[in-house]
Amino acid sequence: MDNFWTRRQFLSRAAGSAVSLALAGPGKSALAYGAGTSALRGRFLTHVSVVRVNQIEVTPDRSIGEDEATDNRPDRIRSRREAFARGCPEGRMTWAISWLALNDTRQEYKDARRLLVSFHERYGDEITFIPGGYFAPMFDTREHIRETIHKALRLISEMVGNGYRPQCLVAGFLDAESQRFLATEEGIHVCQGQIWSQHGIDNGDGDGGICYPYYPSREHYLKPAQGAADFIDCVCLDGWTCDFLAARREGFQGGFNSRLGVGPIETVGNLGKEAGRKEMMDTTAMHFDQGHALNGFGWVTGIWEVSVGHDEDLTWWLQAVKDRWPDTQVLTEGAFGLEWRKHAPDNASLNYRFDAKGTGAPGSEKELEIQWFMNREFRLGLLRNWITSSSPMVIDFTRYDLRAHEPQTLEREWSLMNVLNQKGTRPEDKPIRLGRLTPEDQRRIYARYPELKKLA
């Protein structure tokens, strides 16, 4: 079980499975290389279910995709909540309701809204709004997006009553100025505002950010704020936890799905029950085993539309997670974001580390190992063949100290790419050795991670 440098093995709770941890080199403590400086500790899982009318409601009066009204009927919503309760009786989940589902006057949607309110009252579930069917800034103006958010939040407060206010917004992608609006005008300080490493799939591209919580910059939603001048007091969260090896791909490059991870469509739906569920747990383990050891906490998340079904897979996954990692806290999206916010007043302590080997699922090559280093100044991705002990290659180096600009027109490309990007979509995106980066970039990397010098 080889790793990039000195290592040690331990057995996980899963019978017979072994996972390797990147620990300290000679003369270093595990803490020096391992757990980041964030004070947050523990394992956290968040689940969001979406209730909608149309598959992708890009604006309040325009939809693309299929009408899914019959797949969002009350008995389907009830089935989802019962499946969640079977998997984690004490857990709380977040419901994201679309504009059309909030305003539909048909009896089944009136009943659906009452059902969601009953879940809040009985279980403490969170009910919030999802603008634009994940892709609001790709299809609508920032000003109109904010108007819609304001109206929808008011409708939700009236629907739930008793002064209710959600703690987060679920948005898929959301521009920086709208996240600032949430914090300053709506008093909401958590936003599921980016889909990490999505590119070449669905209706929006957004690679270049950090997969764990951060405060976005006013320049770009994927850029961590560099200081007080560009700071947005809204914790930005990823929407889907993906297999790191699969996620490095562009779309369906090579015939593989780059969104492979804990989502049911890409796993059980494409791979079958046995292989799909294994991939869901293997992806979870990347965060709850190695990731937890390296960062001090682990977080896994996913958004499952009610219309896709797979309720039995949700029950199985939650039960399997609680069996293997009994300390896992299953929280609403807003509760998790605010918990992180209590421990991190800004981005100064960001220092996320991930070390993952391929799971053997399609697109996650068993012989490959990927390491990610993510902080306020940059993110760095290294890839190598651990079986042949090959030298790691830099597949991504994204600097956050450089100026960044979001699109000013309606378009699907909202990525943040500069020096080198893992997707390989530009001529300059060719994997290189650390020592081939510019001297300035090498100094920047080694100042924070001096142990990487020997890999140059």
Q: Domain-by-domain residue ranges, the chain?
A: 42-343, 351-455
DSSP 183-200: HHHS---EEEEE-TTB-S
Query: What tokens were used for 289?
Result: 């085993």
d(CA 433, CA 426): 18
What angle separates helix 107-123 from helix 142-160, to the nearest 10 degrees?
Answer: 70
Interatomic CA distance for residues 23 and 100, integer angstroms: 50
The pLDDT assigned to 456 comes to: 81
- The angle that helices 74-87 and 107-123 make with each other, rounded to 10 degrees, is 20
For residues 246 and 286, give the distance between their C-alpha atoms in angstroms, rounded to a whole number: 13
pLDDT value, residue 39: 85
Q: What is the DSSP track for 64-93?
A: EEEE-GGGGSHHHHHHHHHHHHHH-TT---
CB 38 within 8 A of CB 344: yes
Q: Provide φ and ψ at 57, rounded to 5°.
A: -90, 85
Q: How far is CA 22 from the centre of its chain?
A: 23
Residue 66, burial from CB neighbour count under 10 angstroms (0-12, 13-18, 19+): exposed
**Tens place of pLDDT per residue across the chain (456 aa):** 333 332 222 223 332 232 333 323 322 322 233 334 568 999 999 999 999 999 999 999 999 989 999 999 999 999 999 999 999 999 999 999 999 999 999 999 999 999 999 999 999 999 999 999 999 999 999 999 999 999 999 999 999 999 999 999 999 999 999 999 999 999 999 999 999 999 999 999 999 999 999 999 999 999 999 999 999 999 999 999 999 999 999 999 999 999 999 999 999 999 999 999 999 999 999 999 999 999 999 999 999 999 999 999 999 999 999 999 999 999 999 999 999 999 999 999 999 999 999 999 999 999 999 999 999 999 999 999 999 999 999 999 999 999 999 999 999 999 999 999 999 999 999 999 999 999 999 999 999 999 999 988
Q: Strand 190-194 and strand 235-238: pairing?
A: parallel
Using alpha carbons, select from 268, 219, 258, 252 the residue that is nearest to residue 364.
258
Rounded to the nearest angstrom, the gap between the alpha carbon of residue 407 and the centroid of all alpha carbons in its chain is: 22
The CATH number of domain 351-455 is 3.30.1120.110: yes
**Residue 382, burial from CB neighbour count under 10 angstroms (0-12, 13-18, 19+):** buried
Architecture of the domain whose range is 42-343: Alpha-Beta Barrel (3.20)
Tell me how far apart the terminal alpha carbons of the chain are, to the nearest angstrom. Answer: 22
pLDDT at 38: 61
